[in-house]
Amino acid sequence: MAVLNKIRQRSLFLILIIALALFSFVLTDLFRNSDALFGGSQDVVATVNGNNISRLEFMNRVENMQRQSPGMSSTQTMNRVYDQEVRRAVMNTQFEELGLSVEQEQMKDLLKQNFASYPEFQNEAGLFDESKLTEFVANLKSLNGERAPLGTFQLNYSDWVNNENSIAVGAKETAYFNMVKAGINATLNEAEVDYLLENSTRDLKYVQIPYTTIADSLVEVTKGDIKSYINDNKKKFKVDASRDIVYVEFKEAASLEDEENLMNSFDRLQNGKLEFNATTNDTLRVTPFAQVQEDDLENYVNYIAESDENYNDAFVKKSALPATVADTVYNLNVGDVYGPYKDNGMMKLTKMVAQKTLPDSAKVRHILIPFLGSNRAAPEVTLTEAEAKSLADSVAAVVRVTPSKFPDFVTSLSSDQGSVDKGGVYDYHPSTQMVKPFSDFEFQNEVGEIGVVKTQFGFHVIEILGQKGSSKAVKVATISKPIEASTETIDNVFTDASKFEIALQEKDFQAVSKERDLDVKPVNGIKVLDENIPGLGAQRPIVRWAFEDGTKVGDYKRFSVPGGGYAVVQLVKATKEGLMDPENASGSALTAIRKEKKAEMIRTKVSGTTIDEVAKNQGQSARTAAAVNMKNPTLSGSGLEPKVVGVAFSLNEGETSGLINGNKGVFMVTVTKIEESSKLDNYQAIANRMSTERSAQSQTKVYNALKETADIEDNRATFY
């Protein structure tokens, strides 16, 4: 009791101590993440030339692009939007310095150019109506963020404003780069120099002492040499921050026991089995698959057997059957059942339903009449399904009597742009090329037959023009079930991964992996914005973890992986941004350093002042090269040697150079003949060609130069 009384008496003191401790904890976290305390980059994706790219606006643009391009991953979308935003910021700096802007009247013209083809902005005559555009934008603004359709897209007022801004930026870029192009035309003097470089030539006699005459083992390269070379060539050896990891994967794959249990589950379908039906409160026997009549197969496969793949009531050739069992299934008798068997991650049971002889290929022509709601129907389609069917029947009746009118109907009615120019004709093709109703008609009827077929694209008026070959086709019914890991297997995978992690507390990653016979996979050179890990697919969480400030070399962590399972990952190396370390740089640096040292070694042993003397002294042959020019500085027999050719052009006829360190050896060269090109009366054609080449490259080169000199702070890795 005495102790309790003392605690009560000092309760205020204890509260103050606890409060100070909590305050200290908060302050420590704030100073560790100073951006949270002082604003920083928490809500800034990037800063370009002092201008921030807001995280909120950036995320909205990423969301919009992902909606428009659903096939792109989130990281790919983010990177594309980032490139666009950086470009916009870099170019805006130039626009502001030059005072470039888009005025109201110019903006109206730009909107007309971009949206004149949209039906929403056209009047009854099909012409662009500015009032309709104004009305559309006003309506969009009144929707308070809700989206409305425009063409094939859905957008809100914010999207429209961004779109207008993009159009304006595009116009300013066009004006900017037009000014750049106007200032980069080649002069006549430049054209003359280019002409002389290509047409003035030298005939040479030379000797080459290849670097390969000295073995690499005779050249000592120290770590200091490599460091010096790196410092002298910093741009060549500059590297981004990167991480090296190793990982072990624990896949949630079906075990042999899981496969056996799934295979045994097919017994009820093969042999029939009594089952209780909770809906009818009755016990019924499941009909054996072999006894199911053809008319009942769709219901049996899709609903009673609950197949993962629906019943396909179509005849197919042998090539369409699963490759591993094609021979066996193709040769079954009608009514026979084969399986269960494994195919492409599924367990299957297949029944031969029917057989017949069908053509191997068919040639047809058709007229496609779409209706409202059919796939790929153009905006101008107004026919209802009933109206389209009636029109197709009428066309079919006409062409049965007068086949010569078929091409006219194709031109005036068919919406299949892939065949209109060919009179609606599809040349010989297999049965698998067209959608099922279309294919059934062309392969199960005779040549000359004309009929109307409905598909998801509309109503087709089809005429069979020809059929080639014939072979047996089969109709099969297949019950498919996915081969999946059971709950027990999934639990075991989790247990194995957990035990592996626990073992890492005591032993080395490689040692624990070896004990458990696990495959350790290395991944090197991961960059901070990478998304994919080879073997694991999209794994931004792993990349983010590897680059976190708190992650040290030797740390490990477990991650869930796509498709089920886990990867236990260890960070084995962290490379900072800057210059490559000598160990990693040695691969490319060694060759260059050895070349320099070999050149000095060769020079010390060369004697003689003429080509023949040096050639004899070094055991080499004197060579010749005719009509060498400066524009393509190549020596026949030695390849590209710009330094050697450059020295040769500085010599007079008959003059011999000293020793020259070339790309592939040490050279000495004598000019045996000088051929100066005759001057042209006019160099304008060459100047025009050079101007065109420069203009074509200018936009990319100028932007890359502006981006390289811009002050860019990239914070993407903080958010993605």
Q: The pTM is what? A: 0.65
**According to the model, what pLDDT value does residue 280 have?**
61
Which H/E stretch holds residue 134?
Answer: helix 130-142
Q: Among 443, 468, 493, identify where a domain stops.
A: 468
Classify residue 479: in a domain, yes or no.
no
**According to the model, what pLDDT value does residue 558 have?**
96
Q: Provide the residue range defining the domain that includes 505.
A: 242-253+485-576
Helices first, then strands: H and E counts in the chain: 26, 28
CA distance 120 to 42: 41
Classify residue 701: in a domain, yes or no.
no
SS (H, E, C) 449-510: CEEEEEECCEEEEEEEEEEECCEEEEEEEEEEEECCCCHHHHHHHHHHHHHHHHHCCCCCHH
Q: Is the dihedral of CA 219, 223, 224, 229 positive or negative?
A: positive
Q: Is the dihedral of CA 536, 539, 541, 543 positive or negative?
A: positive
Classify residue 320: in a domain, yes or no.
yes
State the 10-residue block means of pLDDT for the chain, 720 residues long: 42 47 44 42 84 89 82 85 91 91 90 88 87 90 88 84 89 91 90 94 96 94 90 88 95 93 92 68 79 93 92 88 93 94 94 93 94 85 91 94 92 90 92 88 92 95 94 94 94 95 94 95 93 90 93 95 92 90 82 94 92 94 95 92 96 96 96 94 94 90 92 87
Domain holding 403: CATH number?
3.10.50.40
CA distance 654 to 102: 65
Same domain flag for 177 and 77: yes
Same domain flag for 249 and 261: no
**According to the model, what pLDDT value does residue 417 have?**
86
**According to the model, what pLDDT value does residue 145 have?**
85
Q: Among 421, 436, 468, identify where a domain stops.
A: 468
Classify residue 711: in a domain, yes or no.
no
Same domain flag for 49 and 164: yes
CA distance 172 to 343: 58
Q: Among 325, 357, 389, identify where a domain stops.
A: 357
Classify residue 193: in a domain, yes or no.
no
Same domain flag for 344 and 391: no
Residues 481, 347: contact at Cβ < 8 Å?
yes
Query: Cβ neighbours of residue 317 under 8 Å, at least 6 residues apart?
Result: 358, 360, 430, 431, 432, 471, 473
Residues in the chain: 720
Same domain flag for 393 and 459: yes
Query: Cβ neighbours of residue 687 under 8 Å, at least 6 residues apart?
Result: 185, 186, 187, 188, 190, 191
Number of Cβ within a 10 Å radius of residue 556: 19
Residues 435, 456: contact at Cβ < 8 Å?
yes
Same domain flag for 208 and 271: no
Classify residue 321: in a domain, yes or no.
yes
Query: Cβ neighbours of residue 671 under 8 Å, at least 6 residues apart?
Result: 202, 203, 204, 648, 651, 652, 653, 654, 655
Same domain flag for 596 and 540: no
Radius of gyration of the chain (CA): 38
CA distance 31 to 427: 73
- Name the domain count of the chain: 6
Same domain flag for 50 and 118: yes
**According to the model, what pLDDT value does residue 208 have?**
96
**According to the model, what pLDDT value does residue 275 have?**
65
Same domain flag for 607 and 635: yes
Same domain flag for 628 and 664: yes
Classify residue 692: in a domain, yes or no.
no
**According to the model, what pLDDT value does residue 684 have?**
95
Same domain flag for 178 and 227: no
Same domain flag for 224 and 309: no
Classify residue 715: in a domain, yes or no.
no
- The phi, psi pair for 628, rounded to 5°, reads -80, 135
